[in-house]
Amino acid sequence: VINESQKQQLESVSYSSRYALGLFYEAGTGIAVPWAARYIADNPCIRFISIDNKKRNIESPEVGPSVVVHTTVTFGSEHLDSEPAEVQQVILSHLQRIVPSLPEPTSIKCQRWRYSQVTRAVPNCPGQMILHTQPLLICGGDGFTRSNFDGCIESAMSLAEAVKPHL
């Protein structure tokens, strides 16, 4: 279905790697921070922390809060093949220094994303690539633009324009 040129273009895409850590708490647990999400610019391990239910504006007395921690790209790359349990402890130690008031969670989930965000998109294919015309097969997404909301919208618009002539 894919010609050699398309295959090479798709194989040229590169992604960053990172970890996410989820800390889950029982209902009624208070997370004493004045923010819902926080970007961390000066830590070698942690890049972003959110009090997820607060960030999504779905706080509820029946559902416990959760904290989500995303690592830096560098940390993710350096620890890509490390044991998740070891990585979890490193992330937790950094988190403790950044937010020392966090209570003990009831459970923790450490997730490795081998392919997290696009660092190099498909060249010369702004937003999409037509792989086949009969039947029509088009691929798109942030691998054709960039890994943010604007990149996703740009790809969606490009996909819609590519489909129009075939309707």
pLDDT, tens digit (0-9, with 9 covering 90-100), for 20-71: 999 999 998 999 899 999 999 999 999 999 998 888 877 777 889 999 999 9
Q: Are 33 and 99 in contact (CB under 8 A)?
A: yes
Percent of the chain as helix, strand, coil, to the nearest 5: 30, 25, 40
pLDDT at 105 over 90: yes
Provide the pLDDT for residue 10.
Answer: 93
CA distance 40 to 53: 19
Structure-block tokens of residue 160: 């819609």
CATH number attached to the domain at 15-119: 3.90.660.10
Residue closest to 28 by CA, chosen among 58, 68, 62, 51: 62
**pTM for the whole thing?**
0.75
Provide the pLDDT for residue 41.
Answer: 95
Provide the pLDDT for residue 79.
Answer: 95
Specify the domain boundaries for CATH 3.90.660.10 within the chain.
15-119
